[in-house]
Amino acid sequence: MKKYKSKFADSKSLKEGFHAKDELLVGITFEDLMTAVESNEPTIDEASVMKVFKEMQNANIADAKYDLKSNIKEIVKILNK
């Protein structure tokens, strides 16, 4: 059986410092979340854990949007080949 190879898996045409296999959204571990809550919240309860999680999500999404906007033209060119 022939293995499928993505036409952009080896792409070098994204902006410098970016690769097609880079993560667009970085994962958040339970340890990351617990450390952030413990370090930044005076009261630790369900609401503070959810608040910090949402802040971490929003920061990751903002970073991903910035990276995506930086590479959107190259991504469109690659996909239209």
Mean pLDDT over each residue of the chain, to the nearest integer: 85
Q: Please state the pTM of the whole predicted model.
A: 0.73
Determine the average pLDDT of the residues in 20-31.
Answer: 83
Domain assignment present for 67:
yes
Is the pLDDT confidence value at 30 over 60? yes
Domain assignment present for 3:
no
Domain assignment present for 23:
no
Contacts 24+ apart (CB under 8 A), 66-70: 67/18, 67/24, 68/24, 70/15, 70/18
What's the pLDDT band for 25 if we cut at 50, 70, 90?
A: confident
Looking at the chain, the whole-number percentage of residues with pLDDT higher than 90 is 57
Domain assignment present for 42:
yes
**pLDDT number for residue 59:** 95
Domain assignment present for 5:
no
> What is the tally of structural domains in the chain?
1
